[in-house]
Chains A and B, each alone.
Chain A
Amino acid sequence: MSEKLTMGAVAYASKVVTIWEGFKGYFAANGLDFDYVLYSNYERQVEAQFAGEVQLAWNSPLAWLRAERMAAARGVSDQVKAIAMRDADQDLTSVILVRADSGIRSVADLAGKRIGVGAIDSPQATLIPLQWLREQGVDTASLQIVRNEVLAGKHGDHIGGERDAARALAAGEVDAACIIDGNHLLFTKEGTLPPGRVEVLARTAPYDHCNFTTSPGAPAALIDRFVTLLLGMSYDDPQVRPLLDLEGLRAWRPGRVSGYPLLDRAVTASGFYDAAGAVKADGYRY
């Protein structure tokens, strides 16, 4: 049996190669024979986990939920685990923005309005905010959903869809827009959101983002070693720091699944995946 640990990652941007080459070098220097395989989309990556191509994957929250559903359907839930995540993956929120002069004062006022969201598969800019609105009593069927399809299959890892939604809001093309919390300040600073003209109508409950997900049958000893090395990475280590900066974190945390129920309900309500993890979303091309 091979002693190499092979991980899947999605190539959502060119920096992904730099990141995982860096991690490969870090793991090699610490005695872990590690390699990675890049996929063009998360659906193919999760399927590869169950086809035995990779023993581990760096998954979006939506990819995690699909893996979890596929594992349950195959009776291998005990083997498919979220083993680690970034500090920056925990307790995110999304916001729903409206123009200050729109007259929209509560989520109930959104009924019948045009709402700009991200790509069809974006947890933070589409699935979670729409689910949160459902849970606030908004009939989402009454909304005119305007999707900003940027890099479908990459589960919203691209900021472009959210920026397009914010631009459309500022331009009056939609009545509301959904983005992740951290992008609000970014879009304000860069001028995409004109100061004083756009307001935060609502903020969702907190949720978690990416995690490392083990594949069925992943070798326990190698996975343990992987997690130990990962959690041992320190931001004040000059060799490690550029990798953490590229991946956007200060520290790795042990994985937790307590931050995914809101997205899980969104997946069910929208019919994105079925209970066994099959892709059912209408019009989803990747």
Chain B
Amino acid sequence: MAIATETLDLGDLGFDRGAHLLIRRALARLAPGQRLRVHGSHRELALHLAGWCRGRGVALEEAEGALLLGPCAALARTEQSGTPARPAESAPATWGMAARGADVELGAPAYHFPLATKAEVWAEEAGRLYAQAVAGQWDPDSAIDWNAPFELPDEVEDAVVQVMTYLVENENAALLVPARFLGQLHPHFREVMQCLAITVADEARHVEVFSRRIALRGRKPGLSSVGGQASLKTLFDTADFSVSSLLLAVLGEGSFVNLLNFLNLYAPDPVTRQICRLAARDEARHVAFGMSHLAWHMAEDPSLRHRLETAVEARYDALADTDGLNEEVFDALILLAAGAFDPAAIATGYQRVQDLVREMSDGRRARLMKLGFSLPEAQAMAERHTRNFM
């Protein structure tokens, strides 16, 4: 009985110009047991077809001027890497870099992604927050009027520069902490990966604008204190993604939203006010991501609640012997909020900074209660947050 064949006419198309594409397509459409008869006028068609078939386990017969292909060797088996719309509960190491929902060939190399379960990384709001972040990106060159006219007394400019110096070092930490987790996260959890990536981009921009403000009037950065760096190092050294989300996003960046709003209100020049207003908007999204992630993870793993409490306690103990916020920053904030050097103005400035500190603590407590901590628990955790704010 003759074997059924399909016919493919390549015309003068050769392997040097893409003939393999039509051949592969035709082979994929063969019924089981069928063979493919290939016609073509390219001089090297038979030669190239021989090498191509040999490398793919496709039988080739050259008989009476005809080129007959098939049957084909087994293809690699595949498995689907979850569904495009929803991530799987756990992403195997061998799904690696594959797009979510792709057919992944079995036998792919195993990547080391320590963060690979939905329970420990997911945030229901991640997709929405990422889209919001993309829409909310701003260009420092055009979004800020760097040439806006202002004149400040030297001591006030110094105070602005000191606050900006403090902001740069905190934003360096806020950039590097998510960047480290980004490198540990299985890309299967695409929306979380994207959120972390755009957070890193946000912080890169913040580092830029705060640095530009320092240099705007020809100054160099001010003081970086041991206490501030010690506080940031405890954040940097936190190895747990959810603990880091609590300490950095919910408590730290949440407090920074208050600080940036404060500066938007009291900073003495229009450039600083613009910078802080835009940065506060980004930071609010980072807080929202941390909240969304912790709400998810705490629901998945009730024991996380205790670990979070313990982590706040441990960080408090670790920082007990440090200064926390450096005096220069604290005094600079008072001066900015005072607006002048007379005693009444300084008293007002001092009160405004006290109000800021209380506002920050209230905000932390409210967010912790929203995550399900009781009032006494939330109060204790909010108060034990680092005096460095971040």
Contacts and interface: CB of A to CB of B under 8 A. Distances in A.
Interface of A: 87-88, 91-93, 95, 181-186, 188-189, 195, 199-200, 203, 234-239, 241-242, 248-251
Considering residues B43, B48, B106, B107, which has the most beta carbons from chain A within 10 angstroms of its beta carbon?
B107
Interface string B21-56: 000000000000000000000011001101110111
A87 B74 contact: no
A91 B73 CA distance: 17
Nearest to B20: A185
B74 A188 contact: no
Interface of B: 15-16, 43-44, 47-48, 50-52, 54-57, 73-77, 105-107
A95 B43 CA distance: 13
B16 A189 contact: yes
A235 B54 contact: no
Contacts of A237: 107
A190 to B, nearest CB: 11
B73 A184 contact: no
A203 B75 CA distance: 30
A239 B16 CA distance: 34
A73 to B, nearest CB: 34
B54 A88 contact: yes
Contacts of B52: 185
A235 B73 contact: yes
Contacts of B106: 236, 238, 241
Given A184-B51, A237-B107, A238-B107, 9 more contacts: A182-B50, A182-B51, A184-B44, A184-B47, A185-B47, A236-B75, A238-B77, A241-B106, A250-B57
Given A200-B43, A235-B57, A236-B77, A188 B16 contact: yes
Nearest to B105: A238
Contact of B54 (A87, A195, A234): A87
Nearest to A240: B107
Contact of A250 (B16, B48, B73, B77): B73
A242 B107 contact: yes
Contacts of B44: 184-185, 200
25 contacts: A87-B57, A91-B50, A91-B54, A92-B54, A93-B47, A93-B50, A181-B51, A182-B51, A185-B16, A185-B47, A185-B52, A189-B16, A195-B16, A200-B47, A235-B75, A236-B74, A236-B77, A238-B76, A238-B105, A238-B107, A241-B76, A241-B106, A241-B107, A242-B107, A249-B57
A239 B94 CA distance: 13
Contacts of A242: 107
A251 B73 CA distance: 8
Contact of A235 (B43, B47, B76): B76
A95 B22 CA distance: 25
Contacts of A181: 47, 50-51
A235 B105 CA distance: 12
A88 B57 CA distance: 8
Contacts of A88: 54-55
A88 B58 CA distance: 10
Given A185-B51, A188-B16, A203-B47, A87 B73 contact: yes
Contacts of A241: 76, 106-107
Nearest to A189: B16
Given A184-B51, A200-B43, A236 B16 contact: no
A184 B54 CA distance: 14
A161 B106 CA distance: 36
A234 B47 contact: no
Contact of A236 (B48, B54, B56, B76): B76
Given A88-B54, A234-B74, A242-B107, A199 B16 contact: no
Contacts of A93: 47, 50
Considering residues A95, A188, A189, which has the most beta carbons from chain B within 10 angstroms of its beta carbon?
A188
A180 B54 CA distance: 13
Given A182-B55, A184-B44, A199-B43, A235 B74 contact: yes
Considering residues A199, A200, A235, which has the most beta carbons from chain B within 10 angstroms of its beta carbon?
A235
Contacts of A199: 43
Contacts of B54: 87-88, 91-92, 182
Contacts of B75: 235-236
Nearest to B75: A236
A249 B73 CA distance: 10
A95 B44 CA distance: 11
A234 B16 CA distance: 31
A239 B77 CA distance: 11
A185 to B, nearest CB: 5
A141 to B, nearest CB: 28
A247 to B, nearest CB: 12
A95 B15 CA distance: 16
A95 B105 CA distance: 35
B48 A185 contact: yes
B107 A185 contact: no
B217 to A, nearest CB: 57
Nearest 4 pairs between A and B by C-beta?
A250-B57, A238-B107, A182-B51, A238-B106
Nearest to A188: B16
A11 B125 CA distance: 55
A88 B237 CA distance: 54
A88 B52 CA distance: 11
Nearest to A249: B57
A236 B106 CA distance: 8
Nearest to A203: B47
B68 to A, nearest CB: 14
Contacts of B57: 87, 235, 249-251
A183 B52 CA distance: 11
B10 to A, nearest CB: 15
A234 B75 CA distance: 10
Considering residues A183, A186, A239, A250, which has the most beta carbons from chain B within 10 angstroms of its beta carbon?
A250
A270 to B, nearest CB: 25
A125 to B, nearest CB: 15
B150 to A, nearest CB: 61
